[in-house]
């Protein structure tokens, strides 16, 4: 979180204060999305959610039964 905020503040300072998401380059947008996704996954893991792998796909659930149900609904099984 802190690194994402620091990065965003540096971008704002570089732009002179008028910063919008649309002015970011594609590379910067992808980096911010990756940071947000990693933060979301870390928050899930803190709440006791586990990762279950179905081939190349990942499902986050509290137990194997729920993971199987979610994978079936998403078409991974």
Q: What is the spatial distance between Cα 72 and Cα 20, in angstroms, rounded to a whole number?
A: 39
48-64 pLDDT, tens digit per residue, is 999 999 999 999 999 99
Q: Return the higher-pLDDT residue of 18 and 64.
A: 64
Q: State the chain's mean pLDDT as an integer.
A: 84
Q: Model pTM?
A: 0.59
Count other Cβ atoms within 10 Å, centred on residue 23: 10
Q: Which secondary-structure segment (H or E) carries 56? A: none
Residues in the chain: 77
């Amino acid at each position: 979180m802190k690194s994402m905020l620091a990065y965003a503040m540096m971008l704002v300072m570089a732009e002179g204060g008028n910063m919008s998401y649309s002015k970011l380059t594609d590379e910067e947008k992808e980096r911010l999305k990756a940071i947000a996704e990693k933060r979301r996954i870390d928050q899930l893991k803190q709440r006791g959610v586990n990762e279950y792998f179905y081939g190349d796909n990942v499902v986050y659930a509290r137990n194997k039964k729920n993971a199987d149900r979610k994978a079936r609904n998403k078409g991974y099984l």
